[in-house]
Structure 1
């Protein structure tokens, strides 16, 4: 079992909180580097959320209802 599989099992049912944690960590890195690497940090946040499966939850809440 890979580390990523173990992480996915640990956050199961708490995907929203995990996504918030990824965002908070990225914001902290941006603050410490004064935004110098913000594009790289944003890309890393997106990829980590995709791998953890937290991006589907967030997208569903932010998107307006489809008609």
Structure 2
């Protein structure tokens, strides 16, 4: 079992808490960098949520 699989197993059932943590950490980075990298931070947040946070049975978010 890879490290990524172990992390996913530990986080299973706590998707909403993961989403909150990803948002909070992204907001922290945006604040510390003055929003200079907000596009990259937003992209990274979405990828992290897709990988670890969102429930696979849930509909994916719509991108605007």
In the superposition, the TM-score normalised over structure 1's length comes to 0.76
Report Cα offsets for 1:11-32 as digits up to 9, x if no partner.
1111100110000000000000
Unpaired stretches in structure 2, ≥5 consecutive residues: none
Unpaired stretches in structure 1, ≥5 consecutive residues: 61-67
Aligned residues: 60
Cα root mean square deviation, aligned: 2.2
Segments of 4+ moved more than 3 angstroms: 55-60
* Correspondence for 1:50: 50
